[in-house]
Amino acid sequence: MAGDQEFSTNIQRNCVIRGHRFDALDQDVQQLIRFAQKALATAYAPYSNFFVGAALRMENGTFILGSNQENAAYPSGLCAERTAMFAAGVQEPGIKVLAMAVVVARSDETELGPAFPCGSCLQVLLEVERRQKTPVKVYLKGTSEHVYEADGVSVFLPFGFDPSAFRI
C-alpha cells in the first residue's frame, strides 16, 4: 500500500536447553533439585492432581521453597515458581536468585517428563532476572532421572513484557 513503510529486525536469541541425567549433575544442582522435591510434598493440588515443587538457590547460600497451591475458585491458586519467588522477595530482599529447580509429579504416579513454567511464572522470573541483572539458571525435572537445564529464563520467554511497554 502507498505510504506503508516496511521494517524488519534481526533478533538472535540463545535458546539452548541441555538435558542431563540426575546422577550426572554436580552435587550443588542435585541438592537444589532435592529441595524442590521436598517442596513437592507440600503442594496442594486436589483438582488438577498435578503437583509442583520449586526451590531457589540464593546468592547468600540459602534455599527458598515453593509449591503449587490450588483453590476451587480458579484462578485463585498460585504456581510453585511464583510462591518461591514471592517468598524470596519477603525472606531475602535484595539477595540475588542464582538458580531454580522445578519438579513435577502426579499422585497416581503417572510418569511425567519435565514441565515448563507457565507464562505468568516466566514473566515474574524474567522480571527478577532483569531487576537483579543476573540470569537465573533453571533446572526442570519430572518423574524420570532426566533433567533439563537452561542458562536463564529468557530461553523460555524470549519476548517477555518489559517496562518499555509503558513508555509512549
pLDDT the model gives residue 116: 93
Taking the domains of the chain in order of start, what are their residue ranges? 17-78+104-132+143-153
- pLDDT tens per residue, the chain (168 residues)? 455 566 555 555 556 788 999 999 999 999 999 999 999 999 999 999 999 999 999 999 999 999 999 999 988 899 999 999 999 999 999 999 999 999 999 988 889 999 999 999 999 999 999 999 999 999 999 999 999 999 999 888 888 887 776 665
Question: Is 145 one of the annotated active-site residues of the chain?
Answer: no
Strand ranges in 38-164 using DSSP code E only, listed in sequence order: 50-58, 63-67, 97-106, 137-141, 146-150
Count CA atoms closer than 13 A to 155's CA, side-chain side.
Answer: 18
Residue 50: which H helix or E strand, with range? Answer: strand 50-58
Reference 69, options 48, 100, 99; nearest CA is 48
Residue of 70, 81, 129, 149 marked catalytic: 81
Partner residues linked to 99 by β-bridges: 57, 137
What are the cell numbers at 87? Answer: 517468598
The CATH-assigned architecture of domain 17-78+104-132+143-153 is 3-Layer(aba) Sandwich (3.40)
